Amino acid sequence: MSKIKIAIAGSSGRMGRILLESVARADDLVLHAALEHGGSAMLGRDAGELSGAPCGVKISAEVEAALQGADVLIDFTRPEGTLHHLEICRRLGVNMVIGTTGLNAQQKAQLGAGAQDIGIVFAPNMSVGVNLVFKLLETASRVLSEGYDIEIIEAHHRHKVDSPSGTALGMGEVVARTLGRNLEACAVYGRVGVTGERDPSTIGFATVRGGDIVGDHTVLYAGTGERIEITHKASSRATFALGALRAARYLAVHSAGMYDMQDVLALK
């Protein structure tokens, strides 16, 4: 069987470097293209320098030329960059694994439109463990639907630009959907001053930013006389990279459409 040809967006960033390393170690994958923005100092360099072994693939800002012949683009960049890449991938027939966070409803709708032509795995978090937590939250929320206040606490490194994290919002969406609530209507993103008693129908979010925290998420169900906490802590970005590669393999054998990690891991 031929190897799956992988392109990586944001290849010199924190996630990009780990993706390069992970692809280099995989027997069934091969690096086809490494992308960076036009002002990057890494342009023209061998992408393998970032993973410890030269591979002959030059880092490029020429997206359309670089993606010719690729099977899957893995994109953990910013919403604007991801949507630009989407247009080109749709035109070229290149599938996408998207871990970009901070997309609004309109931008997510653009992904859905793109999935009419190509396969897209879009998830707020590619970690296998986090996606198992999503499934556990469905069960917990059904059982603890009455008499429990629900709060979501997340912590990330000082460089993260969006808040709450896409994973925290994804957890909130799972909880709200299971409880028959609309997250946009019931979410509380900050409390300060005299806020009054807590509305039991709300889902609260608390955010911590500091240091080099890779990603911690806890969903707290606080009842009378007991608390239940479902927690995931990531100690390395490698967990997200390995999940993204599983998603790329999934797209290699599935037709055009919008998928998430619950599909990839057969948790639906």
Residue tagged active-site, from 85, 156, 217, 232: 156
Q: Read out DSSP for 211-229? A: TT--EEEEEEEE-SS-EEE
Instruction: Please indicate whether residue 5 is annotated as part of the active site.
Output: no
Structure-block tokens of residue 165: 């994290």
Distance CA 46, CA 5 (A): 17
Burial 83-113, CB ≥16 within 10 A → b, else e: bebbebbbeeebbbbbbbbbbeeeeeebbee
Which of 58, 135, 160, 254 is catalytic? The answer is 160
Active site residue 37: no
Distance of alpha carbon 100 from alpha carbon 8, whole angstroms: 13
The residue behind tokens 């170690």 is: 25
* Alpha-carbon Rg for the chain in angstroms: 20
In single-letter form, the type of residue at position 267 comes to L
- The residues assigned a catalytic role are 156, 160
